[in-house]
């Protein structure tokens, strides 16, 4: 909020210069964000937090400043000259709903003229961001910025029956507000009405019908106190935000209404040459009642971590108008009407501590019997996955968790789809309307953007949650890790273009590092993945815990991807909670002998079955089997392939001879031919 320094100083007795004032205000909780020199004064933009409506005006801020710089707040003079004619005889006020309006003060001013206000007043308003309109409206705004009390001027002649009725609106009642819009009211809205119809939305905005204009002679000035919640609900429903609603919503001062009415009436009379009628019409069905609070000074000291003297406590509370009474260690005080935010002891502690200054409190680490901190298993799990992906050379990205409904629908076919999707009621955009059920679409979008930037190689991953809802309405969140490879991938040596083999290598490393249990691979993932290069990963119970393969051409086309992409997604929640500690195996003491075996077989005999058979048949003699080479094409019948396996033979207690290995190879060959339709070359 904007404040005029020269204006502020009118309420303040102090020798403090502007720098000191700004610094001390900042230290007591009113952050001076910017300072601009304008003419002979400075305009300060101060952040006033929502709990402090009392400081959203010059006088209230001056009160804080007086305590902060140990100065004095000047008393407010609001005497005024009145005519003999009584306001009570010219107008009447009735409050029908006292739960929403605890007090309504009106004054009548006769003989106004619609002229501009003087330059000094216009300047002050403009410095505070308020547009000058005419002397009458400007006067009400001026007093608002001075005291925080919102005021409204009605054209008295345009109030039917010269009567103010404060009541809930009738259902469907129409009010044209000052901004020219017709508002259809509900029974929750509090209105100011005349004898016939609503003329203002209470505490929010006046009505066009009763607005003062060129023909206005007599003015009824409203200075009232409305319920914060009621004003807030109306203002929100109609999306109106005014200086008045801003203050009422946060809680105005119930005792300020009569004072502000006098100040504004006096100012209007001065500016326009009008006369103020005798007396106020003051209807107050629910007078404000003060409450006493009590606390101990020593308890305050323990809470703060600093002993605070009784005289300092007294100075601060007195300056804030809390009327402190001291009795030994006990303090009894009465928060003023403008401090509705003070409800309990902690609130009083805060008032004192912030004026003592946070900087005055010595920093002291708590003494703790402290066991070492422990990370939630969920964090351990997802960081294991993250570390594994980084170790594989991938770069982490973070993307938004919402996706397009259209893409979401296609995820029904994704083998790792967790259930029904969760939609946002109020998305920012229709393309961000559903919480994602897979990380893959976000990564495809990211991949497309990056490739469009001219990148050739991709190796990226994301770790994050996917969301779903079951038929009972229960929400579910699962931790996932997804990755995308393309072009040269992460720049692995000897790899020009990544294929399924590189993808599987990365996925296998991540599975191992993240401590997944035994995982089986089976064909799957279409139509998202190419049928020929798609796999589902299943755990021992047959649940799909991962998907992995080349992005299908149809899906790639939908995303506008021209370059081949390999994708994978893993359900991290399926991994073990704790990784198993590796167990040491004695290093071999005798040399190994390596022998190759080339097997010609049909393509539909998977390598995994051949390898399993090798282990089954020769497991006690070998320590390692690997795929050395694979050949198909010229010289081989269609549908045939030649696989060269490399076997490492080793005996734990002695050196093997070549003859023994040859013999073992021979035995293995004949055993394999007994099991499969294979030939050896």
Partner 1 sequence: MGVARLDEVRAAFLEDLGQAGKDASAVEAVRVKYAGRRSGLLLDLTAALRDLPKEERRDYGRALNDLKQDIGKCLDEAREASISGAAAPQDMVDISLPGMALTRGAEHPVNLVRRKIEEIFLRMGYDVEAGPEIEDDWHNFEALNIPSDHPARDDHDTFYVTGDRLLRTHTSPVQARVMENRKPPIRIIVPGKVYRRDSDLRHSPMFHQIEGLLVDEGISFGNLKATLETFLHALFSGHGVDVRFRPSYFPFTEPSAEVDITCIFCGGSGCAVCSRSGWIEILGSGMVDPRVFERVGIDSERYTGFAFGLGLDRVAMLMYGIPDLRQLFSGDQRLTRQFA
Using CB under 8 A as the binding rule, the residues of this chain from 339 to 358 that contact partner 1 are: 344-347, 349-350, 353-354, 358
- The CA distance from 482 to 462, in Å, is 6
- Per CB under 8 A, contacts with partner 1 among 32-71 are 33-34, 49-52
Is residue 521 near partner 1 by the rule CB under 8 A? no
Is residue 271 classed exposed, middle or buried when 0-12, 13-18 and 19+ CB atoms within 10 A define those classes? buried
- Per CB under 8 A, contacts with partner 1 among 236-275 are 249-250
Query: Can you name the residues that pair with 546 across neighbouring β-strands?
Result: 537, 570
Number of Cβ within a 10 Å radius of residue 17:
10
Q: Which of 359, 518, 653, 677 binds partner 1 (CB under 8 A)?
A: 359
339 DSSP 8-state letter: -
**Nearer to partner 1 among residue 346 and residue 627 (C-beta):** 346
**Nearer to partner 1 among residue 360 and residue 629 (C-beta):** 360
Q: Edge to edge, what strands does the sheet with 640-649 contain?
A: 622-631, 640-649, 593-602, 679-680
- Per CB under 8 A, contacts with partner 1 among 164-183 are none
- The CA distance from 273 to 266, in Å, is 10
560 DSSP 8-state letter: T
Q: Which helix H or strand E contains 481, and what residues bound it?
A: strand 475-486
Cβ atoms of 203 and 226 closer than 8 Å = yes
- The CA distance from 644 to 628, in Å, is 5
**Nearer to partner 1 among residue 21 and residue 394 (C-beta):** 394
DSSP for 74-115, written as a single string: PPPP------SSBHHHH-EEEES-TTTEEEEEEEEEES----
Q: Give least dist CB 379 to partner 1, A.
A: 5
Given the rule CB under 8 A, which of 227-235, 271-279, 543-551, 572-580 is the region that contacts partner 1? 227-235
Q: Among residues 402, 147, 186, 381, which one has the least CA distance to residue 264?
A: 147
Q: Give least dist CB 384 to partner 1, A.
A: 13
Cβ atoms of 569 and 439 closer than 8 Å = yes
- Per CB under 8 A, contacts with partner 1 among 430-449 are 432, 435, 442-443, 445-447, 449
Is residue 559 near partner 1 by the rule CB under 8 A? no
Is residue 557 near partner 1 by the rule CB under 8 A? no
Given the rule CB under 8 A, which of 193-201, 375-383, 623-631, 636-644 is the region that contacts partner 1? 375-383
Is residue 18 near partner 1 by the rule CB under 8 A? no
CA dihedral 403, 404, 408, 409 (to 10 degrees): 170
Size of the site for partner 1 (CB under 8 A): 96
491: left (phi over 0), alpha (psi -120 to 50) or beta: left
Given the rule CB under 8 A, which of 81-89, 366-374, 531-539, 584-592 is the region that contacts partner 1? 366-374
- Per CB under 8 A, contacts with partner 1 among 381-420 are 383, 386, 389-402
**Nearer to partner 1 among residue 303 and residue 631 (C-beta):** 303
Number of Cβ within a 10 Å radius of residue 25:
22
Cβ atoms of 465 and 373 closer than 8 Å = no
**Nearer to partner 1 among residue 392 and residue 618 (C-beta):** 392
Mapped onto helix, strand or coil, the DSSP state of residue 602 is strand
Is residue 379 near partner 1 by the rule CB under 8 A? yes
- Per CB under 8 A, contacts with partner 1 among 81-140 are none
Query: Can you name the residues that pair with 602 across neighbouring β-strands?
Result: 640
Is residue 578 near partner 1 by the rule CB under 8 A? no
**Nearer to partner 1 among residue 28 and residue 156 (C-beta):** 28
Is residue 635 near partner 1 by the rule CB under 8 A? no
**x/- contact string, 281-310, with partner 1 (CB under 8 A)?**
---------------------xxxxx----
- Per CB under 8 A, contacts with partner 1 among 451-490 are 453, 455, 458-460, 462, 464-465, 467, 469, 473, 475, 477, 490
């Amino acid at each position: 909020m904007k404040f005029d320094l020269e204006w502020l100083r009118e309420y303040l007795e102090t020798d403090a210069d502007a720098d000191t004032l700004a610094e001390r205000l900042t230290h007591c909780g009113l952050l001076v964000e910017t300072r601009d020199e304008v003419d002979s004064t400075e305009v300060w933009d101060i952040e006033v937090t929502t709990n402090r409506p009392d400081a959203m005006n010059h006088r209230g801020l001056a009160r804080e400043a007086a305590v902060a710089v140990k100065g004095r707040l000047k008393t407010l003079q609001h005497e005024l000259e009145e005519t003999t004619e009584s306001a009570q005889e010219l107008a009447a006020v009735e409050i029908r709903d006292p739960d929403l309006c605890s007090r309504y003060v009106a004054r009548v001013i006769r003989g106004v003229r619609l002229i501009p206000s003087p330059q000094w007043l216009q300047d002050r308003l403009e410095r505070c961001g308020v547009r000058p309109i005419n002397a009458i409206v400007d006067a009400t705004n001026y007093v608002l910025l001075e005291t925080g009390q919102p005021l409204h001027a009605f054209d008295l002649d345009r109030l039917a029956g010269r009567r103010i009725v404060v009541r809930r609106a009738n259902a469907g009642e129409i009010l044209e507000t000052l901004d020219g819009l017709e508002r259809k009211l509900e029974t929750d809205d509090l209105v100011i009405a005349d004898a016939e119809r609503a003329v203002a939305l209470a505490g929010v905005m006046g009505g066009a019908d009763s607005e003062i204009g060129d023909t206005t002679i007599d003015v009824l000035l409203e200075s009232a106190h409305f319920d914060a919640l009621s004003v807030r609900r109306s203002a929100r429903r109609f999306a109106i935000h005014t200086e008045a609603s801003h203050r009422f919503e946060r809680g105005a001062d119930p005792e300020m209404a009569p004072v502000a009415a006098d100040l504004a009436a006096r100012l209007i009379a001065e500016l326009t040459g009008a006369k103020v009628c005798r007396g106020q019409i003051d209807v107050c069905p629910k007078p404000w009642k003060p409450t006493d609070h009590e606390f101990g000074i020593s308890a305050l000291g323990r809470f703060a971590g600093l002993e605070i003297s009784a005289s300092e406590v007294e100075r601060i509370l007195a300056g804030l108008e809390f009327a402190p009474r001291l009795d030994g260690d006990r303090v009894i005080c009465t928060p003023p009407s403008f401090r509705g935010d003070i409800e309990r002891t902690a609130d009083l502690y805060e008032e004192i501590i912030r004026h003592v200054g946070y900087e005055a409190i010595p920093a002291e680490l708590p003494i703790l019997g402290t066991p070492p901190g422990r990370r939630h298993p969920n964090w351990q799990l997802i960081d294991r996955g993250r570390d594994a992906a980084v170790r594989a050379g991938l770069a982490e990205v973070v993307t938004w968790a919402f996706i397009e409904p259209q893409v979401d629908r296609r995820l029904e076919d994704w083998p790792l789809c967790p259930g029904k999707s969760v939609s946002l009621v109020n998305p920012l955009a229709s393309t961000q309307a559903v919480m994602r059920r897979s990380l893959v679409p976000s990564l495809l979008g990211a991949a497309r953007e990056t490739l469009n930037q001219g990148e050739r190689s991709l190796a990226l991953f994301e770790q994050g949650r996917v969301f779903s809802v079951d038929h009972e309405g229960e929400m579910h969140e699962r931790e996932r890790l997804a990755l995308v490879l393309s072009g040269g991938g992460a720049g692995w040596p000897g790899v020009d273009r990544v294929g399924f083999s590189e993808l599987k290598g990365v996925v296998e490393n991540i599975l191992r590092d993240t401590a997944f249990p035994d995982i089986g691979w089976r064909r799957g993932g279409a139509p998202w993945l190419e049928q020929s290069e798609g796999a589902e990963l299943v755990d021992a119970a047959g649940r799909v815990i991962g998907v992995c393969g080349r992005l299908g051409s149809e899906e790639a086309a939908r995303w506008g991807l021209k370059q081949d992409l390999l994708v994978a997604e893993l359900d991290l929640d399926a991994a073990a909670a704790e990784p198993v500690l590796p167990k040491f195996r004695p290093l071999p003491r005798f040399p190994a002998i390596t022998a190759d075996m080339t097997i010609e077989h049909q393509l539909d005999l998977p390598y995994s079955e051949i390898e399993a058979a090798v282990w089954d048949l020769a497991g006690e003699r070998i320590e390692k089997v690997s795929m050395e080479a694979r050949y198909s094409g010229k010289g081989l019948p269609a549908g045939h392939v030649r696989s060269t396996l490399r076997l490492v033979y080793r005996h734990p207690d002695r050196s093997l001879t070549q003859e023994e290995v040859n013999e073992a190879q021979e035995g293995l060959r004949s055993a394999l031919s007994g099991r499969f339709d294979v030939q050896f070359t």
